[in-house]
Amino acid sequence: MKDIVERPKPSGHNLNISQLRIELWTDLKFLAYNLARKRKKQDQEEGKSQMLKALKTLRQVEQYYAFPGNSTLNIIGDFLRHNEFQILKNSIKEVLRLLVSEDYRHHTEFSFETLLKSKEPKQATDSKSRSRYFELLFVDNLSVKDENIINKKLSDVRSRKDEFVYQVVYSKSFQDTLIALVANPNIQACVIRYEIPFKSKNVNGILKPYITNILKDAYDDVPEYDLGILLGIAIRRLRPELDIYYVTDNAVNSLPDSALKLFQRVFYRKEDAQELHLSIIRGIKDRYETPFFTALKEYSQNGRCFSCHAHLARKFSF
């Protein structure tokens, strides 16, 4: 029996961050498979070291996604630290399956723990009853505690009757926001809050070849309280289809008309969770129900123009 599960040789060139991400998860899976086969303590420690390095690299990418995201990497890291190698291997295999199949979209209130522990056979969800999934980008330099508070508030105001379901991705800086929007096509709405730092801590890592062209703006000397509107302008240039919401402590009537036109809605000082949720869902619904998109959906459901519909559906991530 061979001691090593060989990883198919990668292409060495990924066209985008999504392809890079799948390759990194695939590498992690093969490392986990090999670690699960090791019996000697020294070999296990070497395998763990390789996996820790791979996890550190993957974190640079996963911070820009709601699923699996860094929360899932934390769980995987716990399995590794506690030498639960079989669970580790199976967990990474399941994450990769969910990513490639996009089955995580079919769960309106998913978490990695519940998906992994589910004992029921995984069946395709009826497309007529499936909530359409997207991700919301929340821009603010928040602590994990504050992020959890926002998650709880937004979760509390959701309804099972909602036609759309979303999870939240958090960005801590101007540059991280642009990286997230290039990396993650699931992001379809963005909330910009208060004062935000300009610099990202993630510009010189594995993503550098993919993000250099979008990080040309030099706003290092711009006060943080002025970056929100500049970020709105940058988002409109990079992803013009997005719905953008702005939370500011300046009086709304003090903002220039050019700034107001950037945003679907401006909230003063503190956004109401229910109002924000309803605004986001309404904005997505309005885009989804445009005459062109509706006609294209109906056309594709008759068995025609499937490739065109699939391309547009990916763009809108529903």
Per-residue confidence in pLDDT tens, the chain, 318 aa: 445 555 555 445 668 999 999 999 999 999 999 999 999 999 999 999 999 999 999 999 999 999 898 889 999 999 999 999 999 999 999 999 989 988 888 764 555 555 555 544 444 444 444 568 999 999 999 999 999 999 999 999 988 888 899 999 999 999 999 999 999 999 999 999 988 999 999 999 999 999 998 998 889 899 998 899 999 999 999 999 999 999 987 777 777 787 788 999 988 877 789 999 999 999 999 988 765 555 544 544 444 333 333 334 444 444
**Nearest one of 150, 127, 149, 124 to 137, comparing CA atoms:** 150
| CB count in 10 Å sphere of residue 129 | 7
**Nearest one of 173, 23, 38 to 96, comparing CA atoms:** 23
| pLDDT tens sequence across 89-136 | 999 999 999 899 888 887 645 555 555 555 444 444 444 445 689 999
Phi-psi region of 41 (alpha: psi -120 to 50; beta: other; left: phi over 0): alpha
**H helical segments located in the chain:** 17-37, 41-62, 69-81, 85-101, 112-117, 144-156, 174-183, 208-211, 227-238, 257-260, 273-288, 291-301, 306-316
**Distance spanning both ends of the chain, measured CA to CA:** 45
CA dist., res. 180 & res. 227, Å (int): 17
CA dist., res. 190 & res. 235, Å (int): 9
**Nearest one of 90, 71, 83 to 28, comparing CA atoms:** 90
**Tokens, residue 20:** 């890079």
Answer yes or no: are the C-beta atoms of 262 and 242 closer than 8 Å: no
| CB-facing half-sphere around the CA of 236: CA atoms within 13 A | 15
- What DSSP assignment string belongs to 16-36? SHHHHHHHHHHHHHHHHHHHH
CA dist., res. 93 & res. 283, Å (int): 36
Which pTM value belongs to this model? 0.83
